[in-house]
Each structure stands twice: as structure tokens, then as C-alpha cells.
Amino acid sequence: MSLLLRYRELALAVIIAIMVTGIGAYAPAFVGLDNILRVFNDTSILAMLALAQMMVILTRGIDLSTASNLALSGMISASLAQNYPDLPVITYIALAIATGLLLGLINGAFISLLGIPPIVMTLGTLSVFRGMIVVYGGGNQVNASEMGEVFQAFPKVTLLGLSSLFWIMAAVAIAVWLFLNMTRTGRAIYAVGGNPVAARYCGIDLGRQQLIVYTVAGTISGLCGYLWVSRYGVAYSEIASGYELTVIAACVIGGVSIAGGVGTVTGTLLGALFLGVIVNALPVMQITPFWQMAISGAVILAAVIVNARAEKRDVKLILPEARRTAAGGVR
Amino acid sequence: MTMAKRTVVADTAPRRVSDRLLRWETILVLLLVLVIVGNTAISPYFLDLYNLSDATYNFSEKAIVALGMAFLIIVREIDLSVAAIIAVASLATGLVAQMGAGLPILLLVGPLVGIACGAFNGFLVTRLALPSIVVTIGTMSLFRGIAQVVLGDQVINKYPSSYTAIGQTYAIDWPPLPYSFLIFLIFAVVFAAVLHRTAIGRKLYAIGNNPTAARFSGIPVDRIRFWLFVLTGALAGLAATLLTARIGSTRPNIALGWELEIITMVILGGVSIAGGSGTIPGVVLAVFILGLITFGLSLINVPGIVISVILGCLLITSIAVPIIIRRLLNRRQP
Amino acid sequence: MSAIINQPPPQGGGPVLSLRNVSKTFPGVRALHDVSFDLLAGEVTALIGENGAGKSTIVKILTGIYVPDGGDVIAGGIARKFYSPRDSWGAGIAAIHQETVMFDELSVAENIFTGHMPVTGSGLVDWKGMREKAGDLLKRIDADFSPDALLKQLSVAQKHMVEITRALSHDASVIIMDEPTAALSRNEIEDLYRIVDQLKSQGRAIVFISHKFDEIFQVADRFVCLRDGEKVGEGLIADVTEAELVSLMVGRPIDQVFPKRDIKLGDTVLKVQGLSNPTEFADISFELRRGEILGFYGLVGAGRSEAMQCLFGMTAPSAGTVMLEGHAIRIRAPADAIAAGISYVPEDRQQQGVVLPLGIRHNMTLASISQHVKNWFLSKSSELDTVRALGTRLDVRAAHWEQTLSELSGGNQQKVVIAKWLAAKPKVVILDEPTKGIDVGSKAAVHDFIGELAEEGLAVILVSSELPEIMGLSDRVIVMQEGRIAASFERGAWSAEKIVTAATGARKAA
């Protein structure tokens, strides 16, 4: 555990700084306070989802159903607002969180109790959750005008210029950080992803950790479901379609290893920020949004290549001259 | 363990009927029968030969790619970019059509572009030793992004009728077999022969079960994996050619989400996501099961997204039920 | 279930741990039957037996991986059942495994305390306290690295020390060591003996599992011998000889005499010159004749396997030439080596030699599969011919040729691997630690077989760390030390002292 940014994260932060400066030189509006705040607000949902996905990937799993969970939770919450627009906003939020938790629990239960591979299970729930929107609502779409004031007001509340989205994300980030670094369960997650056999030998049960991370991930997705729907003012079956891959991309860029056991909150947040800056920069630089996917793809590939280089495999140092020139072992 | 006694080793294990019955493929056959019976019950139009033949249009292109994907998953790799390769290959076909190219070129461009994309994937995975899941998430964005950049929100729909005929007419008139379905059947036979009866197939299973031991046994693991990515890319390119001919147009979101359907075909077909096991007959059965369920439900106007719920549940149940049964059986034994 | 935590070892009097009539059966296999013995405080008990005798089953029962079907494990005077590793930790039992089972990406302190981390009053992880405690424990065994170091930065011996420290952190009264010296150098083994003495003086009971008799006689006080799941002997080490132990293990006296052969050596078939790799080995040159057995001796980590794997094409050399039967050959991949007639039986059977989920036939034909292709398709009858011939010749014991390799014993798996490489019709066979981790009976069979190979005109390179084996079988011995050839001896002009001195490096003493 280290409070200081480790080498990889420092490099990522520097890259983002360079990017921002570069774009700012080309289009000064980009580095205006307005825009910077907008970047943070826009990236908050992605950041939260990335933190959720990171915990799952730490256990050597993956959650392809995040976006579908978000969509269904958001839809259910919006439907409540459509029918009862004057409830306190906390009810809508609570319903979305509860739905997300339940959906995450379904994933976690099947994966931990039945041992279904995570990629297969969440591939299935990806379709099932999203499909349930139509099964439940019959192709219904909830528009801004139908959601009611209370429902949509919350994301617009600002503090120090940053919307509540940002502050919720900050709270979630701190909570996740505390969980992963300061609780025994959090450390168990790193152990179980790093070496499941060794973890079992230490008395840590993979199943329990899986149940926890998928449920927590689902809960965060549910929360983001409300935030997404209330912010963009629309709820229908195709929202956030395909977004799970953007979320995984943010994790990869942030240094989370797909092999499990490696990843930090700081890194993941930087990864999300990186993508957020790119998405925001395109219109500023007057590049059509059509470039977004291609650039994302190139960035992901670059990040994966860099990460792999960083995890260089050990070279066997047998010859004395080789051992002398290499940095000595550990004293 | 004394040295004097020499054991006599039999050639094969004694055959038991239960072995045959408990195989995944048998369960798939039963499931297929169920699907056919069920569909016949809910719609009188199901068992019409021409309807069934038309149904194959919807899954043949994906099925062709699924054959390649099966090989990849057997060697513990995966390719999430196949749908994006279809998009890029379709784009290339469209551009070439706009330049007035003839039929042969129109047919070849797709697979060629697919080969290039597959080679790119293969290079990153084998030469740079990167995990295929994240590489193909990246190339998925990159390839489809290229299609978006070039096309924007335009659509290419000027294709010569000689080309679209390939996607819209029957190759053989009776029994009515569309080109795409016929190609799938032929490829399925070839792939099955390769996997189950040739040296290459043996090597694939070895790599999937223990890549290190495979390498020590002289198997060129990286070279094989590279060519499997190229193969899958080529199949995706071929699928693009057929798909574009069928719908007669190219747009950037063509085949959106297809990679997940293709992977579902492979997993339902009994190929383990952990690698090293699975059969082509299983994948073929899964293709039919998924395809006929989709077709049958669409005949009674069930919306596509609801069908995807059913298919998602089917995928999960098909993996969960054998595990549950195995647990119950183990509990019974002393 | 685990009510007793941090139980200090009893002072004198009763045993620390007892097994009473413990039995364990798996479908079709009776792993343990009615085994009873005691572990006393401050003593090292060697647990010996062939592979499959039941040693690892006992370890798994004691560490909570298996639950016995019958009998009791009595810890601290109470009959216990361990349903999980946590239970056995709680009862004061710790184990150190052959391959360290720990977390490379976490720090030493975390590795020690995973599963029982100290917490502050508010329930959060007490990092400071954990680091301090780890530091204290490491000092106790004179470890020279910091608790903040990442595990992946440590050497194998240092990782073992972390495992021992982990056992100490649980204040374990019973410490099981399973083949702990497998990857250690001479110096590190001495360190380990010193630690064992310290643990003994602290009153802990130690279970020492090893195939190396010299270590057993050096470090153990008592022994318990298992054969086919039953206890066949126990007593004081001081009261027995090695030969007696071996005959207890096997059930009959075994002649450790190696087959006497009188072979006329043929032409030079392999000539290696200046084979080098930037970090692993340099200037490896030797010649090999038909019918010859060339031994490669050295300490673990001397670079022998690396040199052989490079010769075989697994890695690329930075310099050097290889000539086979007079022709220079370029080996860029194992397939080239195999085509040229070189076979390599790897050291790590599980990871490199066998494909466990596949059957015997599939495994045996894997390196020579192209021999069985007729008209593009594989011929099962052709495969079975080869499999039957080689399998019978090597005396592979199995129910049928399709049997999954994971169901065979270690010795039989090794036979299948050797058969695989013979099926490739080699001219040169490189055997890398061919008898590592297999039972005495299979060992003798493999030794006989190596002799047969030489008689048939194959050229054999035998890489081994067992002096008796190397001296018993080889015509010549090349000793490697720190990546280079240190010495070379002919049969008749060598002695154990000379060989070992060369392997450890004469300069060291100066």
C-alpha cells in the first residue's frame, strides 16, 4: 500500500497533463475553468463504473453486464418518477441502488455458488438485464418531461462549481479506497486475485470475495443508473449500450491488470479521466465525434502495450557478470 | 508395486451407454428437438421449408465466424473485435463498389481486409505477448472507429445486383440453400475434420490444455495462434461480404453486438471458456438451437430484445444445470 | 470450530500432535489406512515414503484441505477435525510447500499476515503494527530483507523464509516442510538447517518430507515410513541405515547398483561449440558420441537446464554452433531440434512434460504426430501401434491407453513423457532430472532404461543433481557452475569430492 502515486500512475498523470496543455495551446477554451469542471462532471459516472469494474477485475473476473445493470436500474427508477413525481429524491436513488444491488447479487450468486465463469455469466446477464427493460416496460420510453422536477434536479445541484455527480463520485472513490486498502476484506480481494491457491491456503474463500465484489459493482451500477437517467433526461432500453467496454478500457488504461491482483483506485480514476479528457477534447478541437471510437481504441492498445512492458518478466541471472551489472537483489 | 508383474493395458476404456448420454452434444440434440417441437407447436409457419431456409440467413454469417472463434477459444484466446472487423470489411467493400469494381473484387475485398485485421490482432497477441481480451477490446474500438471516421453518418447502398444476389438468392434451388448457409455447412465439415481428425487439431487441444508443454513438444504455439487470429479475421471478412450483399448497404453500426452472439454460439456449443475442450458438432448444434429459437419466436412477433433475454437465460442455464447435476450426483455417492 | 488460537507448544510430556487411526479413501483409491503416529515438541520427524504412499494426503489432512474419513487428529489433547486451512492454522499447524504458495504482488509483511491481519480499534487494517510485527519475526530467523519488499523481488530461499515467518506469525507448534530444499543452493540449505535448529529449540515439532536421504540423516531425529497408505515403520534416525529405510519404503531390498554396461562408443554425433546466452550461460562446448551417456552435474541454478533448453531451441543463443552428424544445424525452435533428431525430456513434468487432461495416447504421440498422418488424416491404428510398443517397453501401468494422464502416478507419467520423446525417433536424448520426484521403483526402471538407450546407439545427455545417479550412469561428467563449464571428468578418474568441489566453485573457499 502506498499513499504516493506509484511510477505508473505518475506517468499517466503526466501524460494527461501534457495532453491538456497541448490541447489548451491549440484551443484556450479547453483549459478554461468552465471546461475543466465540465470534464470532471462528465467523467464522474465513468469513474464510478470503472472503480466497480476494477474490483471485479482484481478478483480475476469481469463484469460485462455493468451497462445493462445501469440501464435497467435507471429505467425502474425513472418509471417510479414517472408515476410518482413528487417523492423525495432519496427514494428514487434508493430504488436504483436497490435494483443494482439485486442484479449484482444475481451475478455474484451464480458465479460464486455455481462456479460459472464470470465472462459467461455476465455475457448472459448483459442481454437479460437489458432485455428486462422491454419485458418490464414494453418498449416504453421515459422523457425528461415525464420524470418530474425532483428526479432531475439532483444532478444539477452544485457545490464549488462541481455538480453532485462529482461529489458522489468523490465519496464513492474514497469509500472504495478505504475498503480496498484499509479493510481485511479489501486486502483479501487483492490476495484472491493475485494467487487464488495461496489465498485459499490462508483461509480466504474466493467465492465469498466474488459474491462481495459483484454485488458492490452492481450497487454502484445501480446508483449510476439513476445519475445517468436523471442527468441526460431520458430512459429507454438502449441507454449506455456498449458502455461496459469503455469502462473496461478505463480500467486497462489505469493500470488494472486483466490477470487479477493488480490495480489501484488512483490509477483507475486517472484512466477514466484520460478517456474523459479525450471525449471532451474532440469537439473543442473540432474533430467530429466520429473519431472518438478510433482514438479510444488506439489509446487502449497503447495502454495495454505500455502496461505489458512495465510488467517485464524476470530474466534469469546466472552468469556472475550478469548479476553484477543488474541491480542487486533485496537487502 | 512389484516389478515382476506386467500389467496388460487395454486399448480403450470399456464403453458405457451413460458416457454417450452424458455428453454435451447429446444434451444439445435433445434441446434442438425440444426447440423444433416447441416452435412447431406455436406456429404453423415454422416447418415450411422455404421459411426455414430464409431463417438461415439470420444466423449463417455469424455461424461462419463462430467456427473460427471456436478454434480461438479452444487455444485459450478470444476475439471480441470480429463484429468490428465485419464493419471495416463491409466499409472496404462499399468503397470498392463505389469505385465501380466488378464482382470478383467485391467478393474478395472483405476477406482480404479481414485477414489484415486478424493479422494485426495476431501480431499484438503473439509478438507483443498481450492478453487477447484487452487487445481485441482495443481493436474492436479501433476498427469500428475507422468505419465511423470514414463513413460518418452516411450509408453506402449502391451495390450491383450481381453482388447482392449472392446474399439474397439461393445457391441451390432444391433443397433451397442460400449461399451463406451452404458456405457454413461446407466450412463446418472442413473445420470438424481439421479439429477432430488431423494433426493440427491435436495440437490445438494440446495448446489449450497446457501451452508450455505444447511448446516443449515442438508445437509452434505462437505461430498457430497468429494464424488462428488471421483465420477468424478472414471468416469475419467473408461474413461481411455475405452480410453486405444481403442487406445491400453499409453503415458504421453494421453487425453491432455480433461478437457476443458469436461467442454465445461457441460457449453454448460446449467449448469451455478455459480452453482445451469442445467440438465442432457441438457448435453447429448450438448455432441451430439459437437460430431456430430466434426464428420461431420472431414468427410470433416476439421483439428481438426479448428474444435476447431468452437466449441469455439459455446460455446461463446451459452452463449452470450441468454443474448443479454434478453436485447432486456427487452428494449421492459415498 | 477453531477455538484454540496461538497455543504454545507443551513443555515436555505429551506429544504436540497425534494421528490416531486416520484413514482417507477416494473413489477407487485407499489413500490412507489406519495411520497413527506422534509428533513431539522440539523434534524433527522425517515423513518418508514413495510417491503415492500417502505423505501428501497426510499433509492435506493436517492443513485442512481434506477431512479424514476415519480416525482422529489430536492437537493439544483434543480430537480435532480441520474443515479449512483456517482451522488448522488456529490449531497451530503450518506448512511450507515445495513451490511457495504466496502473493508475488504483495509485500512481505502482507504475505505473512494475509488471513490474520492485525486491526486497529476501529476495525481497519493496522499497517504500522503489521510492519513492526513482521520486522520482529524476520529478525528472529536472521532474515536480511525488509518487510516492505515485494515478494516478487525475493529469491526462492528468501521466499521460503517468508513462509517460515508466516508459520511463526501463527505461533505454529507444528511446522510441516514439504521438500523444502528442492530449489536451494548449498549455502541456502545450510541456512535452512540453522532455522530448523532454532525452531526445534523453541519447542516446535517439525515434519520434514524429503526424498534426499543425506538431508534426512542430517536433520531428522525420528522417522515415520509410509507405504501404500499404511504406516510400515517408525523409530529413531540414529538407529537405522539408509538401506533399511529404502527397503522399508519399497517393501523389499533394492540394489542401488547401477546396471553394468559394456558399450562400444560410436562416432561423434553431436558437437556443440561456444553456446552462449547473455545472462544464463557462456561458452558451453562439448562433444557427444553414439552410445555415450554424458552427465551434466551442478548445483541448482547452475544453468544446465537453460543451456539444454537453448540447445533444444526453446531460447535463442547469442553465440555458438551446433553440429549434428557433421552438419551444422540452425535450431530456432523445438520443432527444428526434433526434426534434427534431438529430444528433450523436461525437468518440470507437470508444467512442461505432460498435458494432464489428455489421455496417454494423445500425450505419447504429441511430439511425433506427423508420423501418423495418412492422406491428411490421423490414423488411430498407427498411433496405437506406437503407443502399445513404447508403453509396454517402458512398463506404463494404466487401465487403458485412453486413460487421462492426471490419473496416473508420477512415475508412470514420467514414463509416458519419456515414451513421447522416444516416439520422435531421436539420435540424441537429453534427460533433465528424469527421476525427480518419482518413487524408488520407477527410478530404478528409468535407470535401466537409460542404459538400454545407450546400448541401442542413442547418445544420452543426463542432467541430474543426484550424485549417485550421475556417477552410476555416466561415462563422462561435465560440471557446470554459475553458467560455465567448471570441470570435466572421465569415468574412473573422478571422485565425489572432486565433482562437488568443481560444482561449488573452488574459488569460493579462498
DSSP A97-162: HHHHHHHHHHHHHHHHHH---HHHHHHHHHHHHHHHHHHHHSS--EEHHHH-HHHHHGGG-EETTE
Name the more confident of C4 and C115. Answer: C115
- Locate cell 451413460: which residue? B18
Lowest mean pLDDT among B224-228, C97-101, C145-149, C445-449: C97-101
Q: What is the dihedral of CA A4, A6, A9, A14, to 10 degrees?
A: 80
Better-predicted residue by pLDDT, A329 or C74: C74
Q: Of the candidates B133, B149, B267, which has its C-beta nearest A290's C-beta? A: B149
- For residues B322 and B307, give the distance between their C-alpha atoms in angstroms, rounded to a whole number: 23
Query: Confidence class of residue C3 from pLDDT cuts 50, 70 and 90?
Result: very low
C213-228 pLDDT per residue, tens? 888 899 999 999 988 7
Query: CA–CA separation, C297 vs C497, rounded Å?
Result: 13
Please tell me what DSSP assigns to residue B219.
-
Higher pLDDT pick, C496 / A53: A53
Instruction: Tell me what the mean pLDDT of segment B42-66 comes to.
Output: 88
Closest of B72, B80, B95 to residue B146, by C-alpha: B95
Q: Which of A3-12, A234-243, A322-331, C331-340 has the highest mean pLDDT?
A: C331-340
For residue A330, the model assigns a pLDDT of 45
What pLDDT, on a 0 to 100 scale, did the predictor assign at position C507?
A: 41
Question: Smallest Cβ distance to C117: which of A178, A184, A195?
Answer: A184
Percentage of chain B modeled with pLDDT above 90: 57
Q: Give the residue among C54, C160, C151 at the shortest CA–CA distance from C111.
A: C151
* pLDDT computed for residue C1 by the predictor: 32
User: Has residue B307 got a pLDDT over 50?
Assistant: yes
Search chain B and give the residue with CA nearest A307. Answer: B130
Q: Please state which of the four CATH numbers 3.40.50.300, 3.30.380.10, 3.90.1170.50, 2.40.128.720 is assigned to the domain occupying C266-341+427-502.
A: 3.40.50.300
Phi-psi region of B28 (alpha: psi -120 to 50; beta: other; left: phi over 0): alpha
Q: What angle do CA C70, C71, C76 make, to 5 degrees?
A: 145
In whole angstroms, what is the distance from residue A246 CA to residue A48 CA? 12
Q: What is the pLDDT of residues C348-357, one digit of tens each?
A: 888 899 999 9
Mean confidence (pLDDT) of chain A:
87
Task: Compute the nearest-CA separation of C111 from chain B (Å).
Answer: 27
What are C293-334's pLDDT values in tens digits?
A: 999 998 777 889 999 999 999 999 999 999 999 899 999 999
Instruction: Determine the Cα–Cα distance for residues C323 and C460; give it in Å rounded to an integer.
Output: 16
pLDDT of residue A5: 42
List phi, psi (to 5°) of C297: -110, 155
More confident residue, C457 or A289: C457
User: C123 pLDDT exceeds 90?
Assistant: no
- What does the alpha-carbon distance between residue A223 and residue A94 come to, in Å, rounded to a whole number? 8
Residues 199-238 of A with CB under 8 A from C: 199-204
Residue B19 included in any domain: no
| pLDDT tens figures, C364-413 | 999 999 899 998 899 999 999 999 999 988 888 888 899 899 888 778 88
pLDDT cut 70: percent of chain C above it: 92
pLDDT at C251 (0 to 100): 65
The DSSP secondary-structure symbol of C404 reads B
CATH for the stretch C14-92+174-185+204-252 = 3.40.50.300
Whether residue C391 lies within 8 A of chain B, CB to CB, comes out as yes
Confidence band of B171 (pLDDT split at 50, 70, 90): confident
Average pLDDT, integer, range A188-204 = 90
Q: What is the mean pLDDT of chain B?
A: 89
The percent of residues in chain C predicted with pLDDT above 90, rounded, is 38
Confidence at residue A328, expressed as pLDDT on a 0 to 100 scale: 39
Number of domains forming the structure of chain B:
1
Q: Specify the pLDDT at position B331.
A: 74
What per-residue confidence (pLDDT) applies to B327? Answer: 84
Distance of CA B243 to the CA centre of its chain: 15
Q: Between C252, C352, C397, which is nearest B212 by CB?
A: C352
Please tell me the distance from the alpha carbon of residue B230 to that of residue B82, in angstroms, as a whole number: 11
Mean pLDDT of C447-469: 89
Task: Chain C: give the shortest CA distance to residue A177, in Å.
Answer: 12
Give residues 280 to 299 of C whose Cβ lies within 8 Å of B.
none
Query: Would residue B16 count as lying in a domain?
Result: no
Count helices and strands in chain A by DSSP H and E runs? 15, 4
A275, with CB counted inside 10 A (0-12, 13-18, 19+), is buried
Q: For A112-150, give one letter per residue: b (16+ CB within 10 A) or e.
A: bebebbbbbbbbbbbbbbbbbbbeebeebebeeebbbeb
Distance of CA B27 to the CA centre of its chain: 19
Angle CA C105–C108–C114, to nearest 5: 80
Of A112-121, B66-75, C74-83, the range with the highest mean pLDDT is B66-75
Tell me, what's the pLDDT at C406?
87
User: What ranges do the domains of chain C cover?
Assistant: 14-92+174-185+204-252, 102-171, 266-341+427-502, 352-425
Q: Round to whole Å and give the CA distance between C375 and B193.
A: 12
* Cβ-contact A170, A251 below 8 angstroms: no
Tell me which residues of chain C, numbers 352 to 381, contact chain B at a CB-CB cutoff of 8 Å.
352-358, 362, 365-367, 369-370, 372-373, 376-378
Q: Considering CB atoms only, which of B273, B308, B319 is closest to A131? A: B308
What's the mean per-residue pLDDT of chain C?
Answer: 85
Q: What is the ipTM of this complex?
A: 0.86
Q: What is the CATH number of the domain that holds B133?
A: 1.10.3470.10
pLDDT digits (tens, 9 = 90+) for B198-226: 999 999 999 999 999 999 999 999 999 99
Is residue B328 one of the residues assigned to a domain?
no
d(CA B21, CA B25): 9
Segment C420-449 mean pLDDT: 86
The pLDDT value given to residue A4? 37
pLDDT at C505: 63
Mean pLDDT along residues A223-252: 90
Residue C93 has pLDDT above 60, yes or no: yes
pLDDT at B111 over 50: yes
Q: Give the model's pLDDT for residue C296.
A: 94
- CB pair distance less than 8 Å for C63 and A183: no
Q: Is the pLDDT of residue A123 over 80?
A: yes
Whether pLDDT at B4 is above 50: no
Mutate to test the interface with C, among B1, B190, B209 (most CBs of C within 10 A): B1
What integer pLDDT is reported at residue A69 of this predicted model? 96
Q: What is the residue whose three cell numbers read 417523492?
A: A87
In a domain, B208, yes or no: yes
- Is the pLDDT reported for residue A224 higher than 90? yes
The domain limits of chain A are 7-311
Residues 6+ apart with CB under 8 A from C260: none
Domains C14-92+174-185+204-252 and C266-341+427-502 share a fold: yes
Neighbours of chain C (3+ CB pairs under 8 A): A, B
Residue B197, pLDDT above cutoff 50 = yes
Q: Which residues of A touch B123 (CB under 8 A)?
A: none
Q: Whose CA is closest to A217, among A73, A46, A99, A51?
A: A51
Is the CATH number of domain A7-311 1.10.1740?
Answer: no
CA A5 vs. chain centroid, Å, equals: 19
Of A321-325, C5-9, C276-280, C304-308, the least confident: C5-9
